[in-house]
Structure 1
C-alpha cells in the first residue's frame, strides 16, 4: 500500500468554474479517508483527479513517492469502485473478477488464486458461476469490490459505492467495507454525500463545500469541535440547532432572538464579558437540550410541535418564539404535542459562530 499526498491541487474548467480549490492533505499508508459534502462540492472531481480521470490544473499529486500528475490512470496502480456496479452482464462472477487480470496478461494459475482469495474474503464462493442478473444488489456490490480487490493496488478509490442500495443493505455493506479495510490494511479514499457513512467508516474525514476543504479531522473531533457553521450543521442527524440573536447580560447571559424571545444561557458557558451586545449564532445539538423543571437556572419553555418516537429515543420538534428546535430525549415520559416543555442547554456543549462568515468562535 502507499500514502497519497495532495499539495494545493486545483481543478479549473475552461469556462472558469473552479471544481476544486487548492486541496492539500495526506492520506496515510493504510488509512481509510472519507471525502464528504453535498452534491457539487467537488469531492468526486477530487477523487477522479487522484484516479487520473480528470486533469490537474495545478498543484502536485503523489502516490507513494511518485509524482503522478501526468501518469496515465492504468499506470497509477489504483483500483476504483464506481457508484454503478459496472459489471459485464454476459460474464459470470468469476469472469468479472478475472477480467482486468486477463487484460494484464497474468497467467491462469495466478488469476485463479487471486479470484479464489477475493471470493473467500467477500463471501462470494458460492456465487462464482452466476451472472450479475442473478445477484442481489448487495452481492453485485461485493463483486464490484472484488474486482478492485484482485488487482492488489496501492490505493483503492470508492465513489459513492453504496448509494444504489436500500437502507438495510447500505448498513450491512458499510460493515463489510470496514471489515475489509481492517483485514487488508489498505489505503482507501471513499467519497460519499451521506454523513452517516462518513462518520462510521472514516478514520479521518475531509468535509468539502463549493470546491473548498472546510475541515479535516477524525469523525468525533468534527462532530464535537466543528470549525464553522457549515461543518456543524452538515454532520449530525438531526442537525445542530442554531439560534441567531444578540447576547445580553442582565443578571445572567441571554440570547435575545429577532422576535424578542430570550433564551437563557448557562452561567458557566464560557462567555466573555466583551461579548455583551454582540450578535451571534449559538448552536446546540439535539442531545444537548436537556429536560428541566420550571424555575431551574438556564431553563426555558418551548412549545411542543411534533413528537417522533423512534424506539430507543424520541425526537421532539419545538418552537421557541419563531425559532424551530429539535431535542433528542430518552423514551419514557413523552411530551404531548400542543403542550410546553422546559429545557436547558448543556453548558459544556454550546457553540458560537460568527454571523458574518460562520467561523467558530467557541467550540463545544
Structure 2
C-alpha cells in the first residue's frame, strides 16, 4: 500500500489544450478516492498519468516516497481496471486471473494461491473453468477486478469499471468494490462520471471541471457545503433548484427577489450591508421544499409532472417562469394542476455569486 501525491501536475497536449491544470492533492495510504466530473474534465487523464499511460507536462507525481514521472508503467506497482473488461476470450477465468502473474515469472505455487484467494473473495470459484463468453456482465467485471487483485499492487486504479453494466448490476458491483476496499485496505483511485457512484463509494471525492479541481472533500460535506454552483448542481439527483435574483434588505430582515416578483424571506441572516441589492443565485435542494398549509407557505407553485419512484415522489413544479423539482415522501402524492404550498427553511438556502458562481452563504 502507498499514498499517491500530486504536486502541480499538468497535462498540456501538443495542440495547446490543457487536459489537467495544476492538480495538487494527496491520496492517503489505504484511501478510496473518487475522481468525478463530466466528460472531458480531466479525470481519466489524471488516472492515466498515475498509470504511466499519459506523460506529465509539468509538476511531480509520487507513489509512496518515489517520484514516478519517468518510471515505466510496469515498474510503478499499480494495477488498473478499465471500462472494457479486456479479458482474453480464448482463456478460462482461471487462466485470465493467472496470466499477469505468469508473465512476471511468479512461481506456480504463488500463482495458484493468489488465483484461489481472489476467486474466493470475488465468488468466482464455480466459474473458474468457464470462458468469458459464458459469463454474465457482472461476473466478467469481477474477473477483471480479480486480475488486478492477484497482482497485490500498491495502488488500484479503476477507470469507470461499471459503465457497461445495467443499473441492478452496477448497484451490486458498487457494494462488491466497497467490500473489497474494506477487506484489503489498499489505496484505490476510482474514476466515474456518475455522481451516485462517487457519493456512495468515495471516502473523499475530487470534483473536476475543464481540467481544474473545483473541490475536494467527503461526500456529505460536498453535498451540504458545495464550494460553487457547479459542484452544487453536479452532485445530487434530482439536481439542486437554482433561481437568480437580488438580495434586498427590509430593516433587520433580508429577502430574495426576482424580476417577476418572486419573494423568499431569509429572516435575520446576518448578511453584510454591502450585499443589499446584490444579484445572486440561490440553490435549494429538492428535499428542502417542504409541503405545508397555505398560511405557512413560502412558495406556491403548480404541479406539472409527478414521478413516483417507490420510497419517494419527484414533483416537477412551475412557478411563473421558474421550473422547480421537489422530493416528497410517498404518503401524499400531489395531483397535476394542483397548487402546492411549500416552505423553504432559511438555513437550507445556498447562496452563490451570480458572476463567479462561488459560494457566499449556506
Q: Please state which band the TM-score falls in when normalised by the shorter chain.
A: over 0.9
- Other structure's SS at 1:341 match: coil
Q: Which residue of 1 aligns with 2:17?
A: 17
Match of 2:70 in 1: 70
Whole-Å Cα distance in 2 between the matches of residues 270 and 233 of structure 1? 25
Tell me if the contact between 1:155 and 1:188 (Cα under 8 Å) persists in the aligned partners. yes
Deviations 1:83-115 (A, max 9, x none): 000000000000000001011011111100000
> Which structure 1 segments of 5+ residues have no match?
none
* Counterpart-to-counterpart distance in 1, 2:293 and 2:278: 29
Q: 8 Å contact 2:255–2:267 — kept in the other structure?
A: no
Which position in structure 2 is the counterpart of 1:83? 83
In structure 2, distance between residues paired with 1:223 and 1:144 = 32
Alpha-carbon distance in 1 for matches of 2:301, 2:143: 51
CA contact (8 A) 1:35 1:189 kept: yes
Aligned to 1:112, what secondary structure does the other structure show? Answer: helix
> 3-state DSSP class of the match of 1:116?
helix
Alignment of 1:1-364 (within 5 A): 1-250=1-250, 252-258=253-259, 260-296=260-296, 299-363=298-362
Report Cα offsets for 1:166-212 as digits up to 9, x if no partner.
00000000000000000000100000000000000000000000000
Query: TM-score scaled to structure 1, two decimals?
Result: 0.97
Give the deviation of 1:163 after TM superposition.
Answer: 0.2
SS of match in other structure, 2:340:
strand
Contact 1:269 1:350 survives alignment (8 Å): no
After TM superposition, give the deviation of residue 295 of structure 1 in Å.
2.5
> 1:308: Cα distance to partner?
1.0
Secondary structure at the counterpart of residue 301 of structure 2: strand
Structure-1 separation of matches of 2:265 and 2:118: 56
Tell me, yes or no, if the aligned pair for 1:261 and 1:321 is still in contact at 8 Å. Answer: no
Write the distance in 2 (CA, Å) between the matches of 1:276 and 1:312: 41
Calculate the TM-score normalised by the size of structure 2.
0.98
CA contact (8 A) 2:2 2:64 kept: yes
Deviation at 1:268, TM superposition (A): 4.5
Instruction: Give the deviation of 1:335 after TM superposition.
Output: 1.5
Backbone CA RMSD of aligned residues = 1.2
2:65 & 2:275 partners in 1: Cα distance? Answer: 49
Measured in 1, the distance between the counterparts of 2:348 and 2:210 equals 28
> Deviation of residue 257 (structure 1)?
1.8
CA deviations on 1:311-352 (whole Å, 9 max, x unpaired) are 111111111110111111111222211120111112111110
Does structure 2 retain, via aligned residues, the 8 Å contact 1:228–1:353? yes
Moved over 6 A (4+): none
Offset, 1:255: 2.1
What per-residue deviation string (whole Å, max 9, x for no partner) do you get for residues 25-61 of structure 1? Answer: 0000000000000000000001000000000000000
Farther off after superposition, 36-45 or 270-279: 270-279
Query: How many residue pairs are counted as aligned between the two chains?
Result: 361
SS at match of 1:315: strand
Task: Give the secondary structure class of the aligned counterpart of 2:300.
Answer: strand
On the 8 A contact 1:292/1:342 being kept in 2, the answer is yes
